[in-house]
């Protein structure tokens, strides 16, 4: 893929605002529009994908719930989690959605390995796992041959909200973050390291 991927930082920003911007970017782009990687932390929010079922939200409490247009089931976003949204023209790069998923998952595996953590994807549940516990969630939407939504990696966050859902539709699924695994890494350091790992996987071999 092209190595000319523009990086856009959103800081900490409301989920619905970034989602609307992703849709607008995708609808307005043309064949000459450069691909972008958006980096953001979201305030606490549950999101329900297109295949999402309300019964997988066990106890919403006062946390907002957004029905969104990405693939997958329910997940949680919150401070201390790095969210990366690759806005990629798949037709131009001649890859499919499955290949993009694989590359994104592998980028997390690559980065975690550099932190001394062994991890792997799971065939039955997109994302990346450490000893059976989910550390990264993944959900995409392909529209007009281009991707939006993306990847969320747990760095140092309050994991309790995951107990109030069936993560990605799997009852009792364990969820972890880098801090729980004993790795001393700031959110800023993780954001930069993950960016490099993702861009490397989205660049020519």
Query: Is 178 a known ligand-binding residue?
Result: no
Query: Is 100 a known ligand-binding residue?
Result: no
| Cβ-based neighbours of 203, under 8 Å, separated by 6 or more | 1, 2, 3, 5
Query: Is 72 a known ligand-binding residue?
Result: yes
Coil/strand/helix, residue 152:
strand
Among 13, 146, 168, 185, the active-site one is 168
Query: Is 61 a known ligand-binding residue?
Result: no
Query: Is 70 a known ligand-binding residue?
Result: yes
> Does the active-site annotation cover 168?
yes
HSE of 130, CA atoms in CB hemisphere, 13 A? 22
Give the Å distances, CA to CA, from 174 to 51, 88, 134, 142, 147. 21, 31, 6, 28, 28
HSE of 77, CA atoms in CB hemisphere, 13 A? 25
Query: Is 151 a known ligand-binding residue?
Result: yes
Query: Is 73 a known ligand-binding residue?
Result: yes
Which of 160-174 are b and which e, b meaning 16 or more Cβ less than 10 Å from the residue's Cβ?
ebbeebbbbbeeebb
Query: Is 137 a known ligand-binding residue?
Result: yes
DSSP lists the bridge partners of residue 11 as 40
Query: Is 182 a known ligand-binding residue?
Result: no
Q: Check if the beta carbon of residue 176 is closer than 8 Å to that of residue 128.
A: no
Query: Is 12 a known ligand-binding residue?
Result: no
Closest alpha carbon to 136 in 122, 147, 116: 122
- Which residues are part of the catalytic machinery? 168
Pick out the residues of the known binding site for substrate: 70-77, 137-139, 150-152
Binding residues: 70-77, 137-139, 150-152
């Amino acid at each position: 893929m092209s190595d000319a991927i523009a990086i856009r930082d959103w800081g900490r920003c409301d989920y619905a605002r970034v989602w609307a911007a992703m849709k607008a970017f995708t609808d307005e782009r043309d064949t000459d529009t450069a691909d972008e990687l958006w980096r953001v932390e979201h305030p606490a929010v549950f999101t329900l994908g297109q295949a999402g079922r309300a019964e997988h939200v066990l106890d919403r409490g006062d946390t907002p719930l957004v029905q969104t247009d990405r693939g997958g089931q329910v997940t949680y976003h919150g401070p201390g989690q790095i969210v990366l949204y690759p806005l990629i023209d798949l037709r131009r790069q001649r890859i499919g959605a499955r290949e993009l998923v694989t590359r994104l998952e592998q980028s997390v595996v690559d980065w975690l390995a550099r932190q001394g953590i062994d991890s792997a994807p799971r065939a039955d549940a997109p994302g990346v796992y450490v000893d059976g516990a989910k550390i990264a969630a993944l959900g995409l939407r392909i529209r007009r041959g281009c991707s939006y939504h993306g990847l969320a990696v747990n760095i140092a966050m309050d994991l309790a909200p995951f107990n109030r859902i069936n993560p990605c539709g799997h009852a009792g699924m364990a969820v972890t973050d880098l801090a729980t695994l004993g790795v001393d890494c700031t959110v800023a350091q993780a954001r930069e390291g993950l960016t490099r790992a993702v861009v490397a996987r989205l660049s020519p071999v």
